[in-house]
Structure 1
Amino acid sequence: MPHQGAAATRSVRIRRVLIVILIANVAVVVAKLFIGIGTGSLAVLGDAAHSSVDALNNVLALFVVWMASKGPDEDHPYGHQKFETLGAMGIVGFLSVSAFELAKGAVQRLATGAPSFSVSPIQITALLATLAINVVVASFESRKGRQLNSEILLADAAHTKADIFVTIGVVAGMVLVRMGVTWADPVLALAVVGIIVVLAYRIMSRSVPILVDRHLVPSSAIKDSAEGVPGVKSAYDIRSRGSRHQSFAELTIAIERSVTVEDGHQIADAVESRLRSDLHLHEIIVHVEPC
C-alpha cells in the first residue's frame, strides 16, 4: 500500500509538470501561427505545426500517466500502457499530413516563384521569444524528469529540444528573407519537413515493435540470468514483450525431479527476483518442469 501511495503522488506531480508545459506550448503555437499567417512564411507555419505536436504530446502524456496510474483491471489484465503507443501512432498520422501539406506548398512556391513576403523586426523578435520559451521549457522538463525518474517527461523534453533547432533554422530563414534571399523560406520549409519526417520515423520505430509484441529483451540474456540461479538446470521457451514502462516475460525452467514442490516454488521465486534485478523486468511468469 505505501508503494501505491508513492506511485499515486508521483503521478500527480508528473501531471502538474505536464500541465505547466502544455500551457507554455500552447502559447508558443499561438504566437507562431500569428507570425506565420501575418508573414505568409511557410517555414514559420511548418514550425507552428511542429510545435503543435509538442502540445499534443503533452495531452497524450497526461492521458497516459492517468491511465497508467489505474493499473491493470478486469478488462485490461495486462495494464493500459498500449494506449500510449496507439496515441503515438495517431501523432505520426498528424505529422504525416502536416509534412505533406508543407512540402507541397514549398515545392509550388519554388516552382512558380510565388510572391515573397515581408518580415518585420518585431516578428523576428517575437519568434525569438518563442525560442526562449522552448529553451526554458526543455530545461525545466528535463530537470523534473530526472527528479521524478519519469521517462515520459524526459522523452517530451528531448522532443522540445528538437523543436528548438527547428525554430533556430526558421529564424535564420526570416533574416535571410529580410536581406532579400526570397528562396530561403521554401527551402527551409523543406528542411522542416525533413525534421518532421525523421521525428515521425523515430516515433514509429519505438511504437510498432510494442504493438506487434516484438521481443523486448534478448532471449539469451533472460536465459543466462535464469540459469545463474542455483537449482536451475536450463531455461527455455523464453518470451518477452512490452516497453520500458511495463514489461512482461515468460519462461520455463528445468529442475531436478527430486526437488520438492515447495523448493521448486522457491527456485522459481528466485528466478523472478534475479530477472527483475538483472534485466529490470516487471511481470514474470516462470513455469517449472522436472528434468
Structure 2
Amino acid sequence: MKKTLNEENFQINSTREKLAANASWMGIIINGALAFFKLVISFITGSMAILADGIDTTTDIITSILTLIASKISSKPADDSHPFGHERAETIVTKVLSLVIIYAGFQVLIGAIQSIITHSFSIYRPYLVLWISLISIFTKYFLYKYKFSVGNKIRNSSIVADALNMRNDILTSLSVLIGIIFYLTLNIMWVDSLVAIIVSAFIFRVGIKMFLETSDEFMGSSKELGEIYYNTLEAVEKVSKANNPHKIRVRKAGYVYFVELHIEVEEEMSVKEANETASQVEKELKKINPYIKDVMIHVEPLGNNEEEEFGFDKNSIKRIFDK
C-alpha cells in the first residue's frame, strides 16, 4: 500500500529523532570518558595543552546534550503557537553551541597566556599526555566520521556542526601530541603553552564559523539552497498546465524547507482547474524532495507582466547557482 505524504513525513521525523539521539548519546559517553581522563591527567602533569584539550572536550559533552534536546524539540509537529513547526530549534541550538565554543576558546587562550607570563612550563609524567593525545586522535576521528555521516543523512545542522567540531578536535589533539613530542625530545619547555594558544585558535575558528552560518539561516540567505530552487523548476516542468515559475523563494528551518512561488496558467482556466494545477506542482515538489515541508503557490494568467521586486526565476537561478 502506497504511503501518504503525511505518513512519509512521520517516518522521516521518527528516523531522524532516533538517529540523532544515537549520535548524541555516542558523543556524550565517549567525550565524557575522554574529558575525565584529560582533566585528571592535566592535574597530574600540569600540562596546559592537555588542560585546554580537556576543556574543549568538555564543551563537546555540552554540545551533544544540546543537540539531543534540539532533535527532540524539532521533531514535534506544528501547533497553534508554532504554525511553521519546531525545526528551527536546531538552528537556535547551533547558535548557542557556537557561543559555548567561542567562550571555551577564550578560556583556553587566557590560561595559556598566564602560563607563559608566570613561566609555568614544567610537566610531570609527560608520557601520560602523549598516550591520552594518541587515544583522543583516534577516538575523535571515529566520532567525526560517524556524526558527519548521520548529520548529512538526516540533514541535521546541529549534528553536522558537532561533527565538524570533532574534526577540529583531531587537530587539537594532534597539536598536543606534536607539542609533547617536542617537549620530550628537544626539551623545549614553553612549547606546551604555545600549543595551548594554537588550540584556542582552532576553537575560535570553529565557533565563529558556526555563528556566521546560523546567522545566514536566520536572515534567509540563499546560500546552499540551489538544490531546492532547481527542485522547484523541475516540479513545475512536470506539470504541463503550469508555466513560467517565478518569484521563487526558499526558506530553511532546521532540516526542512518552505517554498513560495508564482506560476502562470491559461487565462480561460477555471479557478478549480488552477487550484488543481497548483496542487499538482506542490505534490511533485514534495515527491522530488521530501524535506520540503510546505509550498505556497500564487497563480497568475499566462503572459502576466508585472515588476518583480523579489524572488528568483529560471534565468536568475541559473545565473546565481551555476557559478
Structure 2 length normalisation: TM-score? 0.77
Query: Helix, strand or coil for the counterpart of 1:282?
Result: strand
2 CA distance for matches of 1:87 and 1:226?
Answer: 33
Residue 215 in structure 1 maps to residue 211 in structure 2:
no
Task: Give CA deviations for 1:8-35 in whole Å, capped at 9, x if unaligned.
Answer: 2552343134213311111111111122
Residue 6 of structure 1 and its aligned partner are, at CA, apart by: 6.2
Q: Which amino acid aligns with 2:279?
A: D
Task: Give CA deviations for 1:40-81 in whole Å, capped at 9, x if unaligned.
Answer: 322222212222232222112211221122121111111112
1 CA distance for matches of 2:252 and 2:146?
Answer: 29
Residue 260 in structure 1 maps to residue 270 in structure 2:
yes
Aligned to 2:292: 281
Give the conservation status (yes or no) of the 8 Å contact 2:91–2:254: no
Pick aligned residue for 1:58 from 39, 64, 69:
64
Please identify, of 18-27 and 235-244, the stretch whose mean Cα deviation from structure 2 is larger.
235-244
| 1:94–1:155 CA distance, 2 compared to 1 (3 A) | closer
Give the conservation status (yes or no) of the 8 Å contact 2:17–2:71: yes
1 CA distance for matches of 2:23 and 2:230?
Answer: 36
Pick aligned residue for 2:47 from 27, 41, 47:
41
2 CA distance for matches of 1:27 and 1:207?
Answer: 30
| 1:12–1:25 CA distance, 2 compared to 1 (3 A) | same
2 CA distance for matches of 1:251 and 1:31?
Answer: 55
Give the conservation status (yes or no) of the 8 Å contact 1:39–1:119: yes
1 CA distance for matches of 2:171 and 2:97?
Answer: 20
- Written as runs of structure 1 = structure 2, the 5 A alignment for 1:10-25 is 10-25=16-31
1 CA distance for matches of 2:244 and 2:273?
Answer: 16
Q: Which runs of 4+ in 1 moved over 6 A?
A: none
2 CA distance for matches of 1:2 and 1:275?
Answer: 17
Query: Helix, strand or coil for the counterpart of 2:248?
Result: strand
Residue 247 of structure 1 and its aligned partner are, at CA, apart by: 0.7
| 1:226–1:202 CA distance, 2 compared to 1 (3 A) | same
Residue 285 of structure 1 and its aligned partner are, at CA, apart by: 0.8
1 CA distance for matches of 2:272 and 2:23?
Answer: 47
Query: Helix, strand or coil for the counterpart of 1:215?
Result: coil
2 CA distance for matches of 1:262 and 1:224?
Answer: 23
- Written as runs of structure 1 = structure 2, the 5 A alignment for 1:1-291 is 2-3=7-8, 4=10, 7-8=13-14, 10-110=16-116, 112=117, 114-120=119-125, 121-141=127-147, 145=150, 149-152=153-156, 153=159, 155-179=161-185, 180-215=187-222, 217=225, 221=230, 224-225=233-234, 228=237, 229-243=239-253, 245-276=255-286, 281-291=292-302
Residue 107 of structure 1 and its aligned partner are, at CA, apart by: 3.2
Gaps of 5+ in 1: none
Give the conservation status (yes or no) of the 8 Å contact 2:278–2:297: yes
Residue 130 of structure 1 and its aligned partner are, at CA, apart by: 3.2
Residue 97 of structure 1 and its aligned partner are, at CA, apart by: 2.1
2 CA distance for matches of 1:227 and 1:8?
Answer: 30
Give the conservation status (yes or no) of the 8 Å contact 2:95–2:214: yes
Residue 2 of structure 1 and its aligned partner are, at CA, apart by: 4.6
Between the aligned residues of both structures, percent identity stands at 22
1 CA distance for matches of 2:277 and 2:265?
Answer: 9
Residue 223 of structure 1 and its aligned partner are, at CA, apart by: 7.1
2 CA distance for matches of 1:232 and 1:136?
Answer: 48
Q: Which amino acid aligns with 1:116?
A: F
Q: Which amino acid aligns with 1:149?
A: K
CA RMSD between the two structures: 2.9
Task: Give CA deviations for 1:106-156 in whole Å, capped at 9, x if unaligned.
Answer: 33444x36121224223422333333333343454456x28x933345553
Residue 227 of structure 1 and its aligned partner are, at CA, apart by: 5.4
Give the conservation status (yes or no) of the 8 Å contact 2:112–2:194: yes
Q: Which amino acid aligns with 2:140?
A: N
Query: Helix, strand or coil for the counterpart of 2:204?
Result: helix
Q: Which amino acid aligns with 1:193?
A: S
Give the conservation status (yes or no) of the 8 Å contact 1:226–1:232: no
